[in-house]
Structure 1
Amino acid sequence: MTEKPQDPQPQAQPQPDPKAAPELSGVDLARVALRAAKEQARERGAAAQQKKQARRGGLRSGARADGRDPLPLGAAISRLITERGWEAPAAVGGVMGRWPQLVGDDVALHCEPQKYDEEARVLTVSCDSTAWATQLRLLAPTLVARLNADLGHGTVKLIKVLGPAGPARSYGRLRAPGSKGPGDTYG
């Protein structure tokens, strides 16, 4: 009895990898080669152009618009403000210039903006009498809302109102030593 040699395990046919690129031939191969050649030529041209510009002393102005062209003054200032991040301080500076239009002529005659603290977002306003300081403290929430509507939400969070200062102390030769003068009634 002769035993038949057992057939080895049938080997699986190699499956093509779906992720692998299909083999190119003919026209497709020529297209890929042309695309690669164009890309290499473009890179060589760009490198040559950079060398040429470096020899000439850098970029030169051409017929097309670029970032080095002159700008109108307003556009140049707007660009500078944006680049430096000065939008809020510039807007608040505009508010100080337009103070009478924002608060009205009566309030503007007696109350004047002094400074703006950008970090705390506090506008400090001084008034010429305690009555106007009280009036402005009552109007502060409305004024903050109006300023934020004009400048952008959250630009001003608080208005700090300062009343009139006490009388100025005078120092001089005709002063009695140890006497506080007019300031002693305020403290």
Structure 2
Amino acid sequence: MTDTAPAAVSGVDLARVALRAALAAAKSAPRQRPRRTGAAPSRQARPGGREPIALGAAVSRMIAEHGLQTGAAGGQARRTVLSQWDTIAPELKGRVQAVRYDDATRTLYLRPCSPAYRTQLVLHQKEIVARVNPAVGSGTVSLPEMLRAPRYAASGRPPAFKNQCPP
């Protein structure tokens, strides 16, 4: 007869033994609450009259409560911003032109008559948004984008000591 030495127990074997012991203990212990089977939970009335509602209904309610506009109303905002620009900022009339409004990003594109006006517009972006939104609807414009001023004449040089913008 051969004498066999007991095999060393490896980490994997120890893990299996521990898993079996934990499963046996879990089966023998009384359950505290029923196991979830994936079925939808029962809908019970919540205190304070708060009932669960669908996401679309919740969004529609929020839009109505906050007075926001959706869908085709965005096109109205574009026409309003562009057509009312001269009345929104009369001091910029002839110096800054509202070129385009993007509904998706809520960006108002402005084209100044000179690089100096472009710099001023960049510095006063918050004031522009604060003046436009009350006139055309809260939250209509979130970001004004300043386009480059028109190029100089064919020579490529600015006219000497002449203001490009109307007085």
Normalising by the smaller structure, the TM-score range is 0.3 to 0.5
Q: Which has the higher helix share?
A: 1
Q: Which has the higher contact order (CA 8 A, sep 6+)?
A: 2
Which structure has the larger Rg over C-alpha atoms?
1
